[in-house]
Amino acid sequence: MKKKYPFLFIFLSLILSGCVEYSGTSSRDIHEEVVNDTIIEYEISKKHGDLVDICSAAGLVAIAQLQAQNEDGYKEWKRIEKIECDRFEKAYE
C-alpha cells in the first residue's frame, strides 16, 4: 500500500525532532522572551504586589533563567529570590 502524504510525514517528523524551527522562532528566542516577561512581572510585583508576590516572582525569574540555561542569570536571580523571600519570612515571624 502506497502512502498518500510522505512529505507531510517527513515535515512533521522534522518539526517534532527539533530539526526545523516552526515559524522562525528558535527555542533560545522563546526562552529569552520568557525570561524578559518574568522580569517585567517581577518589576510589577515590586510596585504593586505584597511580599509573597515579590518572593514568588523572583523565584519565577530564577526558574526562567534556568530553563534558558543562563547560569549567571540563574545565580543572580537565586540571590534576589533569597533576599525577597527572607523579607517575606521576617515580616511574618
**Domain extent listing, the chain:** 22-91
Tens-place pLDDT, residues 43-89: 999 999 999 999 999 999 999 999 999 999 999 999 999 999 999 99
The pLDDT, as a whole number, for residue 47 is: 98
pTM of the model: 0.72
> What pLDDT does residue 8 have?
46
pLDDT band at 1 (very low <50, low <70, confident <90, very high): very low
CATH number listed for the domain at residues 22-91: 1.20.58
Cβ atoms of 35 and 70 closer than 8 Å: yes
Cα 16 to Cα 10: distance, rounded to the nearest angstrom: 10
φ/ψ region of 69 (left if φ > 0, alpha if ψ in -120 to 50, else beta) reads: left
